[in-house]
Amino acid sequence: MDQKINIVSNILRELKVHTKKIIYVFNKIDAFTGNAEELLKKINEVYASYFPQFISVTANYGIKKLIAQIEKQLVPTRP
């Protein structure tokens, strides 16, 4: 997972948008096996500054919370 996040971070840096607000969205949360609760807790701690959101489109889980977080982050900033 860290490797994928690093790849995306590098792409955002190349596009010069790495200083913008970023929300990490972890999809397919319904596919987690094992101690998912512990894993989600750790992800929340490690990536807290990126407002991690956990969703499952299949299970219709977390979508409303993700939309609310996006709306919260879209507060206009002054130039």
Domain ranges of the chain: 2-73
- Residue by residue, pLDDT tens for the chain (79 residues) are 788 889 989 999 999 988 888 999 999 988 888 787 888 899 999 999 999 999 999 999 999 999 999 999 987 766 6
Is the CB of residue 65 less than 8 Å from the CB of residue 44? no
pLDDT at residue 34 in the model: 78
Q: Which two tokens stand for residue 15?
A: 């596009």
Nearest Cα to Cα of residue 49 among 19, 74, 75, 77 = 19
pLDDT at residue 36 in the model: 79
pLDDT at residue 77 in the model: 65
